[in-house]
Amino acid sequence: MEHSDFGKRFAGKIGIGELMDDLGNALVADPAPLMLGGGNPSHVPQVQALFRKRMEAILAEPGEFERLIGNYDTPQGSKSFIEALVELFRNEFGWNLGPENIGLTNGSQNSFFYLFNLFAGRFGDSRRKKILLPLAPEYIGYSEVGLEKDFFQANRPEISRLNDHIFKYQVDFESLELTDEVGAICFSRPTNPTGNVVTDEEVNRLRELASRHGVPLVIDNAYGTPFPNIIYEDVRPVWDENTIVCMSLSKLGLPGLRTGIVIAQQEVIQIVSRMTSVFSLAPGGVGPGLALDLVSSGEITRISREIIRPFYESKVKRAVVQLQEEMSGVPFAIHKPEGALFLWLWFEDLPITSRELYERLKKKGVLVVSGHYFFPGLDEPWRHKDECIRVTYAQDDEVVEKGLSIIADEVKQLYSSQ
């Protein structure tokens, strides 16, 4: 069977595909490996109880369940959910937006496919544009969504070393190149894989740069405020006509319902909705249906602030303390955990690559993600790309603890055998 150029892109190995396979296989393997590799959010009992209650209410209401599962929404998505989101963003942040500024998709992965291919790729016969990722490392899920080759241009970060084996990446504005080839700027905040939160000052400088060059600034808010609020820094969320904020219900605890939210100027929302009509007719309606009451009452913000954030914050503190104890004597560093579900570990001058470390850990029953996947668009040689791994702390404490101990033992052995 002959494959088109488009088909060939999917015939070889794909980072995100391997990751999702590992994750899926881990869930059914016996004995199950210690799964510190995926991006699955925790099953937070109080939040799950709320969604169960909400589903029971839907089932109890005559005709409500049938309406939820039995109808297509418009390509823009559930009108009532969009109106509730508009109110929430107006009340919480004072954003000046209306229903024409919000479109739903089948998960934010889906949103990025639409948006990136809208702003980058081929422009007529001779011009091409790229997505600028101003702060590598960046989310693995972006890496293959471009329909054209050479789709990303990424910028190496500045590294600030803090106390207690902690470091932080910052945007290196000196080396940030915004040529005519850039079609949009994008970053995740909090960042997957590092847990970094790009500061308000950095965001403002990027906004200013984007608007000066007439390109949109895309902010991936999958872990940010007001929901799911897996963010431990106080930051000011921004939106304006030149900014596109992407959100999702996944990390709130509903990854199975595939609901993404795009907040943008009307023209972008119209195009995103038309893309949805072509690629999937309509966004799923179950996620919006289940979350509607929480959004319209504003409860979603309270739950995110009072339940979700403290839940993850206590897990990350535990994990950091454990690593600092068990790795003492080793030249390790942890990216300052400011949000999201991950610890990004840097093993400077590690005698093997992070990919080899991943293989060794897999043999010992722990799954992590090798850091080299997270540098889409950064082609220059840089040893650092092969010195990091991403581990999630969203799993049960016992699993995280065991997994981190095995990682610490392995890494200590590697350094001592040098």
DSSP string, 365-408: TEE-EEGGGG-TT--S--GGGGSEEEEE--S-HHHHHHHHHHHH
Site map 120..139 versus ligand PLP, x via CB under 6 A: -------------------x
What's the token pair of residue 163? Answer: 């106390």
Residue 248 CA to residue 251 CA, distance in Å, equals 7
The residue from 210, 222, 282, 294 that contacts ligand PLP (CB under 6 A) is 222
- Give the closest residue to 287 by CA, choosing from 9, 51, 16, 27: 51
* Rounded Cα–Cα distance for residues 293 and 377 (Å): 41
- Smallest separation, CB 40 to ligand PLP (Å): 8
**Binding residue for ligand PLP (CB under 6 A) from 194, 243, 248, 301?**
248
Q: Of 103, 121, 134, 260, which one interacts with ligand PLP (CB under 6 A)?
A: 260
Q: How far is the CB of 348 from ligand PLP (least distance, A)?
A: 25
> 197, 222 in Cβ contact below 8 A?
no
Q: Does 194 bind ligand PLP (CB under 6 A)?
A: no
If one asks whether residue 285 binds ligand PLP (CB under 6 A), the answer comes out as no
For ligand PLP, which is the closer residue by CB, 16 or 178? 16
According to DSSP, the residues that pair with 169 across neighbouring strands are 159
Residues 90 and 97: beta-carbon distance below 8 Å: yes
* Contact status: 109 vs ligand PLP (CB under 6 A): yes
- Can you tell me whether residue 134 is helix, strand or coil? coil
Binding segment (CB under 6 A) for ligand PLP, from list 104-112, 157-165, 298-306, 392-400: 104-112
Comparing CB distances to ligand PLP, the nearer of 248 and 395 is: 248
**What residues have CB less than 8 Å from 216, skipping those under 6 apart?**
119, 184, 185, 210, 242, 243, 244, 264, 268
Peptide bond into 31 cis (omega under 30): yes
Minimal distance, residue 164 CB to ligand PLP, in Å: 26
State how far the Cα of 177 lies from the Cα of 181, in Å rounded to an integer. Answer: 10
Based on CB atoms, which residue is closest to ligand PLP, 110 or 354? Answer: 110
Considering the complex, state which of residue 101 and residue 248 has its C-beta at the smaller distance from ligand PLP: 248
Please pick, from the candidates 75, 103, 141, 403, the single residue that binds ligand PLP as defined by CB under 6 A: 141
Assign 74 to helix, strand or coil.
Answer: coil
Residue 255 within binding range of ligand PLP, rule CB under 6 A: yes
Q: Which of 220, 326, 338, 386 binds ligand PLP (CB under 6 A)?
A: 220
How far, in Å, CA of 199 to CA of 171, rounded? Answer: 9
With respect to ligand PLP, which residue has the nearer C-beta, 84 or 218? 218
Name residue, tokens 């608007």: 211
> Does 312 help bind ligand PLP (rule: CB under 6 A)?
no
Contacting range for ligand PLP; rule: CB under 6 A; set: 56-64, 106-114, 226-234, 289-297: 106-114
- Token readout for 380 is 């220059």
DSSP string, 154-206: E-PPEEEE-STTEEEEE--GGG----TTEEEEEEESSPTTT-----HHHHHHH
| Residue 108 found at the interface with ligand PLP (CB under 6 A) | yes
- Within 169-188, which residues bind ligand PLP (CB under 6 A)? 188
- Find the shortest distance in angstroms from Cβ 23 to ligand PLP: 11
Q: What minimum distance in Å lies between the beta carbon of 76 and ligand PLP?
A: 17
Does 338 bind ligand PLP (CB under 6 A)? Our answer is no
Contact positions toward ligand PLP, by CB under 6 A? 39, 107-109, 139, 141, 188, 192, 220, 222, 248, 250, 255, 260
